[in-house]
A and B are shown apart, each in its own frame.
Chain A
Amino acid sequence: MSDTPVLADVIAVACAEAWRGDGEIFASGMGVMQMLGARLARATFEPDLMISDGEAFFIAGDLPIGATDKVVEGWIPFRSVFDTVAGGRRHVMMGASQIDRYGNTNIANIGPWAKPKSQLLGVRGGPGNTVNNATSFFIPKHQTSVFVPVVDMVSGVGYDRAKKVGGFIAQRHDLRRVITNLGVFDFNTPDHAMRLVTLHPGVSLDDVVSNTGFELVVPAEVLISRGPTAQESAAINIIDPKGLRLREIAS
């Protein structure tokens, strides 16, 4: 594979990698790229993952996103989702309109909560997700208005706040990966500050640093995000035959 891989495929692989090693848990993807990642992981290296149709059913098989001829292997209405979250047997990949150095995230509103400049979704299940089960994030456009020093509303709990709560939450708090259009990040540092893991092909360290509104931990050696293997490429084409993933990435 000497050709530079397509960025959307690199990102799909990076999203899938977030679930590596998770075994038989609910891999929940909130969004097209997140869903593609979960299904790609199951179709290749993580076959025991549980995947839902985003409505109320666990589906078996490598189902294309949006397809309706599903093979149902279980029932997961919202109440069971909440039970699974509290039981910790889930790894969700969400979106975020803002994220800070310790992984506090915001999907609720931009500007002051009391009277927002822009009302977004509300906190949704973010508070419960982030203190109960593993959480990752996919952010399609890496820029300083998203990677901010302080988020306007904490809908997802970051490491500094989890530490302050202490006890079970501090011990079990588990933010895994942040995948953007520029690279892959995690929190595997002594104080759980965000760290650059890999740069996507063609992206420079300066691209990342200048688009991040806080100090990022940059290791001595930064690797390049890998493209899909032949098996992964085939799976991506089965799961996303229409190329929905291409529309998910900011150019």
Chain B
Amino acid sequence: MRNKLISETQAIASLENGMTIGIGGWGSRRKPMSLVRALLRSDISDLTVVSYGGPDVGLLCAAGKVKKLVYAFVSLDSIALEPHFRIARQSGTIPEPVEWDEGMLQWALFAASLRLPFLPTRAGLGSGVMDVNPTLKTINSPYADAEELLAVPALRLDAAFVHMNRADSRGNAQYLGPDLYFDDLFLGACEPGRRFVSAEKIIATEDLLKEGTFHTLKINRSMVDGVIHAPNGAHFTTCEPDYGRDEAFQKAYVDAARDPETWKAFSARFLSGDESFYQEQVVLWRAEVKAAKEATK
């Protein structure tokens, strides 16, 4: 019986420059942030990143790790625009931006997970997506309707990161929040070997149905190569019902990103050590904010 428990650092050590990495979650919701932070600490670069983008994309762009970005949006949800992503796009530092419709991303991952070369859709046709992605091709229905459809090419991943509420050490994983997003497709689209699931709690297999119904068990162990115990690992994004978004910290992140100097200070404070250093700094920061609030009362 395989025990797949590893650390974030071990997961990142299996990556190579130039790989295609899919990151689960959505916007600023249930993002595998501890894995993203470990990636930031590494010297891996020239990445192709596929994501329903949030701070994962922003941070990787700010660190100069992204060569190609496949996205439909990058947003922090409660704060609409992601500051690092904006700076990167406006200064042209993402060499190959690939902007698709949200549904096209799903189809590309689904096609890869089914080992199909493409899946047809209408989403994208007639829009600017066709103008800025000249390599996209259409296909005509072979049936009587002969409708011309967009053939969304399969997007195979070299590595996938998703964050779950619970997992056992064998890789059976559980989401307890309102939405799986497309996490199963990120894992499905990835070659076996580097499919990583971080989780708030590692529990015994027999406890998997204690907190949620069987409907929450959409990720099974055949889809997972490495399991990482990552309490508060989605911080500062949501991880319902374990915790909500840390809105105050997200705002501090956005404020810091406005200026290279303040961003340098923010990075030094929070991102210059390992994951436990980050988590400690967040606790200290919260206490400081609370003390400052009480002082002004």
Contact = CB atoms under 8 A, between A and B. Distances in A.
Counting chain A CB atoms within 10 Å of each CB, which of B80, B92, B123 scores highest? B123
A114 B93 CA distance: 11
B179 A56 contact: yes
Interface in A169-201: 169
B134 interface: no
Interface string A127-169: 1101110000000000000000000011111000110111111
B127 A155 contact: yes
Interface residues of B, number: 41
B125 A123 contact: no
Interface stretch (A17-25, A75-83, A206-214, A232-240): A75-83
Interface residues of A, number: 45
A71 B89 CA distance: 41
A162 B126 contact: yes
Contacts of B125: 127, 131, 157, 165, 169
Contacts of B178: 55-57, 75, 77
Given A122-B99, A126-B101, A153 B128 contact: yes
B81 A78 contact: no
Contacts of B182: 78-79
Interface string B95-120: 00001111110100000000000000
Counting chain A CB atoms within 10 Å of each CB, which of B86, B121, B125 scores highest? B125
B189 to A, nearest CB: 15
A65 to B, nearest CB: 14
Contacts of B180: 77, 79
A166 B145 CA distance: 12
Interface string B65-87: 00000011111000011000110
A132 B122 contact: yes
Nearest to B74: A122
B247 interface: no
A132 to B, nearest CB: 6
Contacts of A242: none
Contact of B122 (A113, A115, A131): A131
Given A116-B89, A155-B127, A168-B122, A121 B81 contact: yes
A11 to B, nearest CB: 21
A38 interface: no
B103 A123 contact: no
Interface in B127-170: 127-129, 131-132, 145, 147-148
B129 to A, nearest CB: 5
B90 to A, nearest CB: 5
Contacts of A128: 101-104, 121-124
Contact of A117 (B90, B103, B106): B90
B26 interface: yes
A122 B73 contact: yes
Contacts of B129: 123, 127
B181 interface: yes
B184 to A, nearest CB: 9
A113 B126 contact: no
A154 B128 contact: yes
A123 B99 contact: yes
Contacts of A168: 122, 145, 147
B81 A119 contact: yes
Contacts of B86: 118-119
Contacts of B26: 78
B224 to A, nearest CB: 20
Contacts of B131: 113, 154
Contacts of B148: 165-167
B71 A157 contact: no
B179 A122 contact: no
B126 A164 contact: yes
A79 B110 CA distance: 12
Interface of A: 55-57, 75, 77-79, 82, 85-86, 106, 108-109, 113-128, 130-132, 153-157, 161-162, 164-169
The 3 closest A-B pairs by CB, nearest first: A128-B123, A127-B127, A56-B178
Interface of B: 26, 53, 71-75, 80-81, 85-86, 89-92, 99-104, 106, 121-129, 131-132, 145, 147-148, 178-182
Given A113-B131, A122-B74, 16 more contacts: A75-B178, A78-B26, A113-B132, A114-B132, A119-B90, A121-B80, A122-B72, A123-B100, A124-B102, A125-B102, A127-B125, A128-B101, A128-B123, A155-B127, A167-B147, A169-B126
